[in-house]
Amino acid sequence: MAASRSFFLYAGILTLACVLSVGRVIAQSSTAADAAPAERWYSPEHVARGAPVYAENCAVCHGQNGESTKNWRQRTDDGKFPPPPIDGTGHAWHHPFKVLAAQIKFGTPGGLGSMVGFADKLSDEQIIEVIAWFQNKWPDKVYAAWAELEVRSRSN
């Protein structure tokens, strides 16, 4: 009986030590992953070319730096939402690339917002460059969350 208790005590201590060691390894690897920013898909040239396109076509609604307005979550008198911030503080990062591009090209779906489409004004390359410009404003954590969503959206 005493040997049995000793065995279970030893097994319990060993299990606890393993759990703590594995937890420490996971925490360290998670911290390292959090510290390393996700590699961005665009180049500085994309961002530079996107800046004047954004300034000319988008800033009037989304703000000079993508900051939008304070009340972007509240419907306007016409029942639509105002333009959201696209600087990483709004919800743009919840959308995969193809959705961001489609909203720029074709406008807000379902009449929820007042964004018009730019299919007749911007080329596909200019749309890509505008996305690069505003994603460049996103903090690393926001961009990393978007990058994970983007990978998942491509596997569907």
Tens digit of each residue's pLDDT (9 = 90 or more) over 41-62: 999 999 999 999 999 999 999 9
Number of domains the chain is built from: 2
What does the alpha-carbon distance between residue 134 and residue 118 come to, in Å, rounded to a whole number?
A: 16
pLDDT at residue 107 above 60? yes
Domain shared by 57 and 110, yes or no: yes
Q: Average pLDDT of 108-113?
A: 82
Q: Are residues 51 and 109 in the same domain?
A: yes
Domain that holds residue 65: 44-154
* Res 35: pLDDT: 58
Q: Average pLDDT, stretch 7-25?
A: 36
Residues 61 and 125 in one domain: yes
Q: How far apart are CA 143 and CA 93, in angstroms?
A: 7
Same domain, 110 and 93: yes
Of the pLDDT bands very low, low, confident and very high (cuts 50, 70, 90), residue 3 is: very low
Given a cut of 80, is residue 22 above it in pLDDT?
Answer: no
Could you tell me if 70 and 126 lie in one domain?
Answer: yes
In this predicted structure, the answer to whether residue 14 has a pLDDT above a threshold of 80 is no
44-57 vs 124-135: helix crossing angle, rounded to 10: 100
Q: Average per-residue pLDDT in the chain?
A: 82
The whole-number pLDDT of residue 33 equals 46
Q: Kindly state the tokens that stand for 81.
A: 């939402």
CA separation for the pair 141, 27 (Å, rounded): 17
Mean pLDDT of 15-27: 36
Indicate the residue type of 110.
G
Note whether 149 and 111 are same-domain residues. yes
Same domain for 63 and 94, yes or no, is yes
- In this structure, the answer to whether residues 53 and 32 fall within a common structural domain is no
Residues 16 and 52 placed together within one structural domain of the fold: no
